[in-house]
Structure 1
Amino acid sequence: MVQYFLGQSVLRSSWGQVFPAFWQLYPNPYSKHVLTEDTVHREVTSDQKLLSRRLLTKMNRMPRWAERLFPANVAHSVYILEDSTVDPQNQTMTTFTWNINHTWLMVVEERCVYRVNSGNSGWTEIRREAWVSSSLFGVSRAVQEFALARFKSNMAKTMKDFEYILAKLQGEAPPKTLAETAKEAKEKAKETALAAPEKAKDLASKAATKQQQQQL
């Protein structure tokens, strides 16, 4: 049995901006699970299409029950092949990815098409399809549901990746990550707490001065 997922999203940047940003997504604070990326093949066809193949290494934590299925000497990193076709004439980019290890546990295939948004030529729409299959007896459904949930989570991270890189390429301040926002809030709260006694002392001093003036 194969689980299928279809999702669509929009980036408020032109295809001409999204296309170069795609090749600069990593490293990225939103996708620290992507460990490495290597281009193993690239060519320009006679009809001016760019064909590329990349090998990516990702590290994703498995659920506890799945951890027990892995022998102690087996690496938990996932190796993924990505084939892409860029058609500058029609302004489309199509990618197809699939894992090449741990296939005994699950196979996740993804197809993405990036094209100019039909409603706004300055935006880019992304159509994502995913197929998840597992032949693991007894727990295949649980594996598929977990893989789909992880896929959706990573899809959200990818959109954050794009927003972060596009902001940098366009000379804007990149959006802050949740960790950065939390750190700033913590530091601000600490500063407020440290300043509170001094502020209270100052208020008390002003109140005492005012009281003395009234008595006079």
Structure 2
Amino acid sequence: MVKYFTTKCDINAAWDHVVSAFWQRYPNPFSTHVLTEDVVYREVTTDHRLLSRRLLTKTNRLPRWAEHFFPAGMSRSVYIVEDSIVDPISRSLTTYTWNLNHTTLMSVEERCVFRDSAEQPGATQLKREAWITSGIYGFSRPIQEFGLARFKSNQVRAMKGLEYALSNLQGETPQRLLRGSVKETSDVAKGAPQSLASTASTTQNPQHYV
């Protein structure tokens, strides 16, 4: 089974400001676990969408019980692929991220959609979804529970980092810019998105576009 989690919130900033801050959110004092970020692919399509693929290296301290699942000498760093589409026509930014290594222990797939808020003029709505799975027989449920708790903690820091980047762009003191709701569905069979290709069919490389 898959642990599914979703949140929705409004960011009190215009969509174009949020998109600009998204590209400038690292480094920030709330995301010191993000070690590196590299653009490995970028293209502007004929319909003016910006497609990007980035590789990020992150580290998180493992709980003591998880050390038993890691062979001696195995890297504790996590390599993350982030695919994104900026569509200036529909004013949306869609991102899809997943981890490349340690997938037997835990796989975390995340999709975020930033678009103009329908309820708050001048604000940006963010919908975030995550799918957490584990392939460790007999321990998948507690590992998924741990992964969900870690994911929530990391997203709090991620949003503080985005607020920090927005404040820097606007020349303001960091402030609370978010208001929203959280919905969690435990142990559901709701599948993660297969790829980004369905909405970026004009490009063949890379093959995973949301």
Q: TM-score, normalised by structure 1?
A: 0.79
Q: Give the whole-Å Cα distance in 1 for the aligned partners of 2:173 and 2:12.
A: 16
Matched, 1:112 2:109: no
**Deviation (angstroms), 1:10:** 1.7
Bigger fraction of residues in helix: 1
**Deviation (angstroms), 1:120:** 1.7
Matched, 1:76 2:76: yes
Task: Supply the RMSD in Å over aligned alpha carbons.
Answer: 1.2
**Deviation (angstroms), 1:67:** 1.4
Cross-structure match for 2:36: 36
Secondary structure in 1 aligned to 2:98? strand
Cross-structure match for 1:206: none
Counterpart amino acid of residue 116 in structure 2 = V
**Deviation (angstroms), 1:69:** 1.6
RCO higher in 1 or 2 (8 Å CA, sep ≥ 6)? 2
**Deviation (angstroms), 1:52:** 0.2
Q: Which runs of 5+ in 1 are unaligned?
A: 176-216
Counterpart amino acid of residue 125 in structure 2 = E
Cross-structure match for 1:136: 136
Counterpart amino acid of residue 16 in structure 1 = D
What do residues 90-144 of structure 1 show as CA deviations (whole Å, max 9, x unaligned)? Answer: 1100000000000111110000000111112211111011001111011111110
Cross-structure match for 2:163: 163
Q: Give the whole-Å Cα distance in 1 for the aligned partners of 2:61 and 2:138.
A: 21
Q: Give the whole-Å Cα distance in 2 for the aligned partners of 1:108 and 1:138.
A: 19
Cross-structure match for 1:5: 5
Q: TM-score, normalised by structure 2?
A: 0.81
Secondary structure in 2 aligned to 1:65? helix
What do residues 60-115 of structure 1 show as CA deviations (whole Å, max 9, x unaligned)? Answer: 11111001221220010100000000101111000000000001111100000001
Cross-structure match for 1:45: 45
Cross-structure match for 1:98: 98
Bigger fraction of residues in strand: 2
Cross-structure match for 1:193: none
Q: Give the whole-Å Cα distance in 2 for the aligned partners of 1:168 and 1:121.
A: 22
* Within-5 A mapping of 1:197-212: none
What do residues 26-84 of structure 1 show as CA deviations (whole Å, max 9, x unaligned)? Answer: 00100110000000000000100000000000001111100122122001010000000
> Please, which moves more after superposition, 64-73 or 24-33?
64-73
Q: What is the total number of aligned residue pairs between the two structures? A: 176
Q: Which has the larger radius of gyration?
A: 1
Q: Which runs of 5+ in 2 are unaligned?
A: 176-210
Matched, 1:14 2:14: yes
